[in-house]
Structure 1
């Protein structure tokens, strides 16, 4: 490819990257979902203890609290109920806060207004005495898409009102701690009224809740695409294509994929804890721990076949970081960007890993990640495969993906290594 053409592509992709990285709404959604992740990991820790692979460990821990194993597991499940069951609320508060900050608005009244609006749109049920009952499932994983929409709409409407100066103005002598709550009354009142009207219209004329509509219009197609192997392969190919041109592909693609994959992950967890069949082969754990195995093959290939001094030095600094999922030393150290020798393996290896893993899961060779254990992306492979699947077969699947990725990388590494050797010999002779 000619340099001018490469520069044109790089320029266009650079604009795309700049759009994603500077767009306040995309950044707020991404940061909001990232804020949710620690709670999924914390809940996973408690669930791991409750269903530890070595029963004697759980029995011993239960005995310390003078509980049976089942009682102990139920007590540990309280943390899951207190965190993931309100996943929609966590996402709502995190996104509305982040978006308010991006828009340079006071985040506290916006978070609280968004919370009220979310509950206005959340469907209630009536018990036999005619009392309103809120099902916790309506504020959990299945409400994440509603939480995203509500957060964005609340900030947009609130910001519009605030810009027009439609607020209660108090004298400057009044302390900000007193004046700010009063300034938020009118904007919050208008926003809440708008959402109340939406609730009334949907219920009266369509007999539907906002949760049902959002999940049908937005959630269903997104989960159909993001939850399919076709969607995963396309996303991985696009991410790696961006990396080739020096653009952080994961940052862009993950901002779209994470909300979808996290919902699928939480659906699996809910199904597992209620003893139902797992609905989703693809989820956040599939993406993080299996479909992301690619560049690791380059490091292993360099370790096995490289002889040039350049690559010998690189493997010393790149191998250990990649044990913890950090691939930048390899990407920038080889470098892989704009080196067409590496175009094919860089682009295809994560997609190949995704396909291999998908086949292993759908054929029941490896247990599908049930969502109860979600580990950070920095968790070393083999260990992470075991933890998210609860089986040694998950670790073996990762090993197979590493082997296949390495085999793909080896011939290309050999070509580049020979080129480096010739250059080193030439430079040595020139001294």
Structure 2
């Protein structure tokens, strides 16, 4: 194990660190982080409008009138999921331009205009998410290069307000970039593809989402995040740009299906991972906290770290445990830290696939404590029971490794004494 850790530190970690710091991935990640409150709110209003309890529906209809009270949820939906691609097109360009040290607002505005020039009016919701990412990256790369050309800058005389000078500096680059996307839309229309965004969604994005909702892909997601964390890399942040391109459309598709009385099509999404796998954080470390309380009390250092980690762990924050115990580069904890999420995602996936637990259609805040999150995500007590069962499984997996760790610490102290 020690030789494996050394090999990974020397060969893998430097490459992974470069990937994690890649400006395009960082811009995508930061953009999705801004949209996260909107996605949570959008999922919550779907729950508000479609809570499958007849007494609740009758109560709300009796007080506010049938269908009238659902206007609130519909309006909030229009301000969240219904325009999520539009928001992302702006934010991605804004963040990416900042990474280049350029005017983020100008780049965001150009990206937004380019998105609509390409036909964004037909794909403002999550159906246009992939295209919005492509447009945000391509338009910003073009804009950054063009705005750096002295030949395209309209120089204003001294004394002109800075805001006016910046707008004229971006005049020709913005016109060129937006025109190029308009030209692309015209070429596609000439070849019989008038709706680029929905065509792209049907041909590329939708099949990709379906593939990503399979059991092998779920196992890969469960493996890669703790694997990266073990080497001190923020696994969640590194793969978040990839997962969110699947997550947002999947949540919206599930919510719309449920509101239409249909079966939710996508099992694997963020609330599924948060509610049934990341119990206490990556690696299901709330199970480790409980395991230490049960079998690790003989070690003072373990107890100190555990007491500091318990309260944050309830809210799925586990950095104190990751770096305090530590789990990072700890050979003893490598196996349970990797194995536990893969076991939990197996039980959760097949429980959902077989219809024992409903598909996760609501996205609770990621800090929602385990078990409560399972209930909220599925709107079912069976979701809470599954989360509780998975928590017990995580404790059982961690317990023997805690015993090994405690015994090694005792031997080390005795050798040192």
TM surpasses 0.5: yes
Q: TM-score, normalised by structure 2?
A: 0.91
Distance in 2 (alpha carbons) for counterparts of 1:96 and 1:338: 36
Matched residue, 2:348: 357
Matched positions, count: 411
Alignment of 1:20-419 (within 5 A): 20-51=19-50, 67-68=64-65, 70-122=67-119, 135=122, 138-165=123-150, 166-207=152-193, 209-212=195-198, 214-215=200-201, 218-220=204-206, 222-293=208-279, 294-306=284-296, 307-370=298-361, 373-419=362-408
Partner of 1:129: none
- Residue 54 of structure 1 deviates from its aligned partner by 7.1
Give, in whole Å, the separation in 2 of the partners of 1:100 and 1:390: 41
Shift in alpha-carbon separation, 1:353–1:159, aligned structure 2, 3 A: same
Deviates more, 1:185-194 or 1:198-207: 198-207
Q: Deviations over 1:216-253 (max 9, x none)?
A: 56424532442222112112212222222222222212
Whether the 8 Å CA contact 2:193–2:199 is kept in 1: the answer is no
Deviation at 1:190, TM superposition (A): 0.3
Determine helix, strand or coil for the equivalent of 1:337: coil
Distance in 1 separating the partners of 2:114 and 2:90: 12
Q: Tell me, what secondary structure is at the counterpart of 1:186?
A: helix
Shift of 1:163: 1.7
Instruction: Indicate the SS of the match to 2:191.
Output: helix
Q: Distance in 2 between matches of 1:329 and 1:258?
A: 26
CA RMSD of aligned residues (A): 2.3
CA distance in 1, matches of 2:90, 2:261: 30
More displaced 10-residue stretch of structure 1: 190-199 or 309-318: 309-318
Contact 2:50 2:259 in 1 (8 A): no
Aligned to 2:7: 8
Q: What does residue 130 of structure 1 align with?
A: none
Rounded to whole Å, the distance in 1 between the matches of 2:149 and 2:249 is 37
Does structure 2 retain, via aligned residues, the 8 Å contact 1:264–1:284?
Answer: no
Structure 2, unpaired ranges of 5+:
none
Identify if the C-alpha distance between structure 1 residues 218 and 54 changes in structure 2 by more than 3 Å, giving closer, same or farther: closer
* CA separation of 1:282 and 1:2: change in aligned 2, threshold 3 A: closer
Give, in whole Å, the separation in 2 of the partners of 1:54 and 1:313: 45
Find the aligned partners of 1:343 and 1:43 in 2 and give their Cα distance.
Answer: 37
CA positional deviation for 1:425: 4.7
User: What is the deviation of 1:56?
Assistant: 6.5
Per-residue CA deviation, residues 278-325 of structure 1 (Å, 9 max, x unaligned), is 111111211222232322221111111112222222221111111000
SS at match of 1:280: coil
Q: CA deviation at 1:2?
A: 4.7
Q: Which segments of 5 or more consecutive residues in structure 1 lack a partner in the other structure? A: 124-133
Deviation readout 1:362-391 (Å, 9 max, x if unpaired):
111111112xx2112111111111111001
Identify if the C-alpha distance between structure 1 residues 179 and 389 changes in structure 2 by more than 3 Å, giving closer, same or farther. Answer: same
Q: Does the 8 Å contact 1:92/1:150 carry over to 2?
A: yes
CA distance in 1, matches of 2:15, 2:241: 13
Moved more, 417-426 or 159-168: 417-426
Retained in 1: the 8 A contact 2:185–2:194? no
Give the aligned partner of residue 128 of structure 1: none
Q: Indicate if the aligned counterparts of 1:295 and 1:349 stay in contact, CA closer than 8 A.
A: no
Structure 2: distance between partners of 1:69 and 1:38: 29
Equivalent residue number for residue 126 of structure 1: none
* Cα drift, residue 53 of structure 1: 7.2
Give the secondary-structure state (helix, strand or coil) at the position aligned to 2:69.
helix
CA distance in 1, matches of 2:326, 2:72: 50
Alpha carbons 1:226, 1:261 under 8 Å: kept:
no
Output the CA distance in 2 between the equivalents of 1:26 and 1:60.
47
Assess if the C-alpha contact under 8 Å between 1:228 and 1:282 holds in 2: yes
TM normalised by structure 1 equals 0.88
1:219 & 1:44 partners in 2: Cα distance?
21
**Alignment partners' CA distance in 2, 1:413 and 1:91:** 44
Aligned equivalents of 1:2, 1:273: Cα separation in 2: 52
Contact 1:49–1:58 at 8 Å: present in 2 too?
no
